[in-house]
Copies of this chain bind each other. A is one copy, B any other.
């Protein structure tokens, strides 16, 4: 798991350069939860709080990372695309940005079953950003995965 998290961070920073500028890092990955973190400074806005666009991007990457980790742990070579995203901002974030994505093992199993039977699947992931122990923003993304064809 530790190796995969390092590999995920490397993929983000090398292949999505703005994720490096945002300073996103993996905090922890258990089977159904991925936690990521970015410092406030590179993501600050005119109010001295986290920029709405950074919160969205970090949450979207958290969901993408959760999907990427699922594919890697199951040895699947697939492409991940975000088809749709929504975010509701509840309160400002004045501290490090921590996003948490949960993907229940039941939902994982459903998605993997569809992926294996049809070569593609689509599912919804929620990512929550908390601040001072309360929910500050909630992101919902529609992720589409397709198995890569051998070249």
Beta-carbon nearest neighbor of A48 in chain B: B15
The reply to whether the CB of A145 lies closer than 8 angstroms to some CB of chain B is: no
Please give the number of chain A residues whose Cβ is less than 8 angstroms from any Cβ of chain B in the complex: 34
CB-based closest 8 A-B pairs: A53-B57, A21-B21, A52-B82, A15-B46, A86-B86, A56-B56, A53-B60, A16-B45
Closest chain B CB from A104 CB (angstroms): 23
User: Pick the contact of A86 from B52, B81, B85 — CB < 8 Å?
Assistant: B85
A61 at the interface (CB under 8 A from B): yes
CB proximity to B under 8 Å, residues A48-87? 51-54, 56-58, 60-61, 79, 81-87
Give complex CA distance A17, B47 in Å.
13
CB-CB < 8 A to A111: which residues of B? none
Residue in B16, B47, B60 whose beta carbon sits within 8 Å of that of A46 in the complex: B16
